[in-house]
Structure 1
Amino acid sequence: MNDILLYPITIHQKEERYFYHSLQFPAIKGSASDIETLYLIVKEQLEKQLYNCLMEQEKVTPSSWESREEKVVIVAVSRKEVLQKYGSKPVKRMVSLPSWLSYQAEKEGLSLSKVLQEAVKDKVNRNEGWK
């Protein structure tokens, strides 16, 4: 599974504004005064949409190309970057460990939360990350 997904976004210009929409995600539509701003807005909207799809374990394959009279902009979205950007909200988990280990960790001034995060990140990276 590739980390980078490419989504076609159709745009058209009307007077001084560029209007855009996504064929795959109807909620992604709007306008901007220039192409650079449009790209940044669309990228953020796609990242949020992709994050929601990943959390719901929905299929995230980019839509097919359509033959239209509109211009097409390709927006690249990274699964890894999306999860890091939008998935960094702390989540509380209950962890059990032997009392002697808790005592030793406290004695050495270890942050159990930080140690657990590092261990899980290491394990996830060894297993090639998010699937």
Structure 2
Amino acid sequence: MKKPERYFYPAVFTYEKGQEIAVDFPDLEVATSGVDDKDALLSARELLGCVMFGLEEDEEKIPEPSALESIKLEKNQKSMLIDVYMPSIRMAQVNKSVSRTVTLPAWLNAEAQENNVNFSQVLQQALMKMFGNDSKIAGQA
């Protein structure tokens, strides 16, 4: 089954004097916060992406989002529909780094260290070349 490109969920922003803005996703039972509206919105999008990615990866049922107008609000609250673009979230997870242990002859290790070789970078480049992904090497720093 094809995964959706975007998810849209209502969030409740709660404003309390002297406190960060609390952001709650009632349908997902998760919350975050931000120091101002912009920070709260960015935090909400990031959280939504993480939660939805986790649900997809664990093959859990994706909850149906509530209609925005059905959200009950207090005087100090606002509701907003938050969206997240999943292809970029999924790609970020694919590109995350993993740690590997390698074994080298002592003389080669000493030579590489003397020449300030970045072991991770050299291994990545060699593997990309081996698997025909040379074009990705140019994008590496």
* Alpha-carbon spacing, 1:29–1:75, altered in 2? closer, same or farther (3 Å): same
- 1:32-69 Cα shifts (integer Å, max 9, x gaps): 22110001111111111111111112233552123312
Deviations 1:93-121 (A, max 9, x none): xxxxxxxxxxxxxxxxx522638xxxxxx
Taking structure 2 as the reference length, the TM-score comes to 0.57
Q: Runs of 5+ in structure 1 lacking a partner? A: 92-109, 116-131
Give the whole-Å Cα distance in 2 for the aligned partners of 1:24 and 1:56.
18
Q: State the partner residue of 1:111.
A: 130
Equivalent position SS for 1:50: helix
Q: How many residues get paired?
A: 97
SS in 2 for 1:51: helix
> CA RMSD, aligned part only?
2.5
Tell me which of the two structures has the higher relative contact order, counting C-alpha pairs closer than 8 angstroms and 6 or more residues apart. Answer: 1
Provide the residue aligned with 2:5 in structure 1.
3
> Shift of the alpha carbon at 1:71?
1.3
Tell me which of 65, 84, 96 is aligned to 2:91. Answer: 84
Amino acid in structure 2 at the alignment position of 1:67: I
Matched with 2:15 is: 13
Matched, 1:71 2:73: no
In 2 relative to 1, CA 31–112 (structure 1 residues): closer, same or farther, beyond 3 Å? closer
Structure 2 distance, partners of 1:19, 1:111, is 49
In the alignment, the residues of structure 2 paired with residue 77 and residue 22 of structure 1 have an alpha-carbon distance, to the nearest angstrom, of 13
Rounded Cα–Cα distance in structure 1 between residues aligned with 2:97 and 2:48: 23
**Ranges in structure 2 where 5+ consecutive residues have no aligned partner:** 99-128, 135-141
Give the alignment's TM-score, normalised by structure 1: 0.61
